[in-house]
Amino acid sequence: MDNALSYHESHDPDWFDVQYNLRAGRPDYEETVIPGWIADSQKARDTLNCTLDIRYAAGEKQMLDVFRCGDATAPTLIWIHGGYWQRGDKSVYSFLAAPFVQAGVNVVVVGYDLCPTVSMTRISEELREALTYVWQEGEALGINRDRLTVMGHSAGGHLTQMMMATDWPARAATLPADMIKAGIPVSPLSYLEPVRLTIALNANLRMDRVEAEAESPMTNHPPLTDAPQLIVVGGAETDEFHRQSQMYLDTFGTDARAMEMYVVPGVDHFDELNVLADPASPFFAKTCAMLGL
């Protein structure tokens, strides 16, 4: 693992920006991608059985949305949005709930505070607070707390890995060690030092070397559960995103802890979410299989 992590010494900041500043490679992001997601998400909120802006802790954005399929015993998918820990909002991603609700899944979309208002370290803690709340309030939320799958994209993929690395009983004696039944990190940032070395992204993250090391699943947060994981990356993503996913799989996959990597054919970091939202896609089918459908 040391060789996999030390490669950064041979690259300059411009190289890291090309690999990680993905919006720069999608000039239509603000004009097409985000407006499309926002419109589809509004439709989802208007048409699905949902309860919005449920507060789970005191932070400004520490709220979650619950989308119900009508069966409180159905599996529960917890979605953690991306945006490099500094952008985005849960409301943009309601559209992902629609195909899962129609397939018989209850969906929880989690919001969290963003950098630089809070630190990277604090964001990880906010997600632990969110999952603790979901488990403790499952019945009131109308969901099955005993069938939780955590899934997140990009920064949300990192946070998914951090949740798989959480010692839940150490937080509260009532929380089971196997609280999360499966994890699906999508285009995760498993090792944060390269992100720290970017110019564009770290300006708001304000990570130093110590925090980047401390908050990296690869160096300080191995999975503490043998729950299966599906690690996903877009086929047209940068080499670094493929490497981030592969080294997590290579390091932490074991005979007891089943891990699979799925490459979504031909799509980049953003379009892979459009594929996920397509109930006819293999990506959607693989996610449903992880949910136990």
pLDDT digits (tens), the chain, 293 positions:
444 455 555 577 788 888 998 888 888 988 999 999 999 999 999 999 999 999 999 999 999 999 999 999 999 999 999 999 999 999 999 999 999 999 999 999 999 999 999 999 999 999 999 999 999 999 999 999 999 999 999 999 999 999 999 999 999 999 999 999 999 999 999 999 999 988 889 999 999 999 999 999 999 999 999 999 999 999 999 999 999 999 999 999 999 999 999 999 999 999 999 999 999 999 999 999 999 99
What CATH number does the domain containing 177 carry? 3.40.50.1820
Q: How is residue 204 annotated by DSSP?
A: H
Question: What string of H, E and C letters represents the secondary structure of 206-236?
Answer: CCCHHHHHHCCHHHHCCCCCCCCEEEEEECC
Of 157, 102, 82, the residue nearest 277 (C-alpha): 102
pLDDT at 1: 46
Burial (0-12, 13-18, 19+ Cβ within 10 Å), 205: buried
Angle CA 81–82–84, to nearest 5: 150
Tell me the C-alpha distance between 196 and 16, whole Å: 9
Could you check whether the bond before residue 217 is cis, i.e. omega within 30 degrees of 0?
A: no
Of 163, 143, 144, 159, the residue nearest 67 (C-alpha): 143
Domain count across the chain: 1
Q: What domain range is 88 assigned to?
A: 2-291
H or E element that contains 106: strand 106-110
Tell me the β-bridge partners of 4: none
pLDDT at 25: 81
Angle CA 287–292–293, to nearest 5: 80
